Amino acid sequence: MIARLLAFIGRSVLSGLAGAGKVTLFAIEAVSHLVRPPFYGREFLSALLQIGWLSLPVVGLTAIFTGAALALQIYAGGARFSAESVVPSIVAIGMTRELGPVLGGLMVAARVASSIAAEIGTMKVTEQIDALVTLSTDPLKYLVAPRLLAAVISVPLLVGVGDVIGVMGGWLVGVERLNFNSATYIRNTWQYLETWDVMSGILKGAAFGFIVALMGCYYGMNSGRGAQGVGRATKTAVVAASILILAANYVLTEVFFSK
Amino acid sequence: MIEIHGLTKSFGPKHVLRGIDLSVVRGESLVVIGGSGTGKSVLLKCILGLNAPDGGSIVIDGKPATGHAGASEREEFLSKFGMLFQGAALFDSLTVWQNVAFRLLRGANRKPRAEARAIALEKLKRVGLGPDVADLYPAELSGGMQKRVGLARAIAADPQVIFFDEPTTGLDPIMAGVINELIRSIVTEMGATAITITHDMTSVRAIADKVAMLHDGVLRWQGPVAEIDTTDDPYIQQFIHGRAEGPIEALR
């Protein structure tokens, strides 16, 4: 009984480590293609459009509702200490440091990791990946590297836009519902916000973008057969990307802000 | 042109190829027949390096097919080949002409866009498709047209060796006949070496110079196409007449 339990633990740890190793090797090889020609500019631009531009509505809507709810909560919490005036600065700090990158990253994981995994998985199942190889094109260079680069560039930009929209959501609620003076709200937002608050969130965005594209590509390239295989790859990519984003967020927050 | 000796390949406990010896001379059209799941596709993928063989040797044009030193060497090796995939495997994010010109638009021997398009249109014409389909996406085409586009893509860079993976599967008999004829005439006029895998006997008779039968991981029989009707090999006889009774188990 105990032996079986130990064997189970051992097997799980081994397969977990093997999986982590495979993902790491995959990532290293894919990144190495970014510095070795040929480069596929067209694929990069199309990935930039797919991952960045087309995610704007989702990230923007997430940010505006989050900022709005945040303002209400902080107002209610602040009222307990007669500190309602902290709403503008706490909303700004909360959005830029934490909620902008994390919720933005999670929404991008849902939208982009799934679509990348499903697209590449389907290409694998329909032999399009094999066809690429027979046409002298490395799938890692042609499919994976452009998506990784596009995500690392566009997700921080999305986070930046999300920050602005989130703060705007807080301002909207502050002015319309909580009777803040508009000019005072904006002044308080600026006054206590530091550059590092924004920069740290944007750096997190770059890391989350890398995670999203890497998980989408990895599970797509390793998709099983048939519709079921692609479905499983898509699901796993989204789950893995989301968990890794939350874990990476904790680690990065420790690195950036722990005393 | 292609020399294979003692090729073996297993997936886990499953021994798919158990010692294949095969040689194909330049300009010859070989058809490999065999039931579903006998490793025909694996054989092709081993030659192309899509699957790494476990043992044996594959020599193409006097050079080993595996263990390329660098990316450019591998690219040069692969540029000798064209392949028509079973489901055509067209890239669905690209238009028809971009699919056909895929190799011409990328890599070391890249051509200008206008020239690549002109070559693509010419190859499309060769497989019986007009310029009106060039700007459509693969999903807008019928199965037969997709196969034609796949064929045009396979021959776009004038390869020395062309592989056909079940070229007529999923097509109606008339369309299958058309594709068979196209393959035969294109292979002859290009002087290319061809390896086709199929279980369609009409294809075999239309395309083959030489036939090899794969069964249970080895080549059970090989010979000129004219001999498949006269040989008394029980495996060949069962296969070409489609009998349920015989040495080949029906349950696989």
- Tens-digit pLDDT profile for residues B12-46: 888 888 888 998 999 899 999 988 778 888 898 88
Distance (Å) from the C-alpha of residue B165 to the closest C-alpha of chain A?
11
Residues B78, A40: C-beta atoms closer than 8 Å: no
Set of chain B residues whose Cβ sits within 8 Å of the Cβ of A36:
71
Convert the pLDDT of each residue in A190-204 to its tens digit. 988 999 999 999 999
Please say whether the beta carbons of A90 and A74 come within 8 A. yes
CB < 8 Å to B78, chain A: 133-136
pLDDT tier at B250 (50, 70, 90 boundaries)?
A: low
Q: Which residues of A touch B87 (CB under 8 A)?
A: 126-127
A134 touches chain B (CB under 8 A): yes
Q: Tell me what pLDDT residue B172 has.
A: 86
B76: nearest CA partner in chain A = A136
Hey, are the CB atoms on A127 and B103 less than 8 Å from each other? no
Q: Which residue of A39, A134, A140 to mutate against B (max B Cβ within 10 Å)?
A: A134
Set of chain A residues whose Cβ sits within 8 Å of the Cβ of B102:
135, 137
Model confidence at B252: pLDDT above 60: no
* Residues in chain A closer than 8 A to B93 (CB atoms): 46
Mutation target vs A (from B78, B109, B111, B195; most A CBs, 10 A cutoff)? B78
Cα(B54)–Cα(B99) distance, integer angstroms? 33
Q: Which one of B48, B71, B106 has the shortest CB-CB distance to A134? A: B48
Give the chain B residue whose CA is nearest to the CA of A38: B107
Q: Which residue of B has its CA nearest to A36?
A: B71
Instruction: Give pLDDT, residue B220.
Output: 87
Q: CA–CA separation, B89 vs A50, rounded Å?
A: 23
Chain position carrying tokens 């045009």: B152
| Of A28, A38, A96, A22, nearest in space to A66 by CA | A96
Give the chain A residue whose CA is nearest to the CA of B154: A135
A 51-110: CB under 8 A from B: none
Ordered by start, the domain boundaries in chain A are 46-254
| CA A138 to mean position of chain CA atoms | 26
Contact B86 A127 (CB under 8 A): yes
Q: Is residue B24 within 8 Å of residue B223, measured between CB atoms? A: no
CA distance linking residue B218 with residue A162, whole number of Å:
61
- CB contact (8 A) between residue B50 and residue A128: no
Predicted pLDDT at A209: 97
Tokens of residue B83, six digits: 């392949």
Strands (E), chain B: 2-11, 14-24, 29-33, 55-60, 63-64, 81-84, 161-165, 193-198, 210-215, 218-224
Helix and strand numbers (H, E) in chain B are 9, 10
> If you write DSSP's letter for every residue of A126-145 in order, what string do you get?
TTHHHHHHHTT--HIIIIIH
Look up residue B175 and give its two tokens.
């369309």
What residues of chain B have any CB closer than 8 angstroms to a CB in chain A?
45, 48-50, 71, 74-75, 78-79, 81-83, 85-87, 89-93, 102-103, 106-107, 153
Determine the pLDDT at residue A59: 96
Q: Count of CB contacts below 8 A, A vs B?
A: 53
Find which of B41, B44, B66, B92 to mutate to test the A interface (most A CBs within 10 Å of its CB): B92
pLDDT, mean of residues B97-108: 89
Domain boundaries along the sequence of chain B? 93-158
pLDDT of residue B69: 63
Handedness of CA A148, A151, A154, A159 (dihedral sign): negative
The average pLDDT across B110-124 equals 92
Mean pLDDT of chain B: 88
- Residues in chain B with CB shorter than 8 Å from the CB of A137 are 102-103, 106-107
To the nearest whole Å, the CA of B78 is away from the closest chain A CA by 6
Contact of B89 with A130, CB cutoff 8 Å: yes
Stretches where chain A sits below pLDDT 50 are none
Q: Which residues of B touch A126 (CB under 8 A)?
A: 87, 89
- Do B232 and B33 contact (CB within 8 A), yes or no? no
pLDDT one-digit tens code per residue, B132-188? 999 999 999 998 899 999 999 999 988 999 999 999 888 888 888 988 998 898 889
Residue A214's Cβ-count burial label (10 Å; 0-12, 13-18, 19+) is buried
Q: Residue B207, class by beta-carbon neighbours within 10 Å (0-12 exposed, 13-18 middle, 19+ buried)?
A: buried
Inform me whether the C-beta atom of residue A251 falls under 8 Å from chain B C-beta atoms: no
Q: What integer is the mean pLDDT of B229-233?
A: 86
With b for 16 or more beta-carbon neighbours within 10 A and e for fewer, the A33-50 pattern comes to: beeeebebeebbeebbeb
Residue A108: strand, helix, or coil: helix
∠ CA A148-B94-B85, rounded to 5° = 100
pLDDT tens track for B67-98: 666 777 788 888 889 999 988 899 999 999 99
- Best interface-test mutation with B: which of A127, A135, A137 has the largest number of B CBs within 10 A? A135
Q: What is the pLDDT of residue B230?
A: 86
Give B56's pLDDT tier (boundaries 50, 70, 90): confident
What is the distance, to the nearest Å, from the Cα of residue A173 to the centroid of all Cα atoms in its chain? Answer: 27
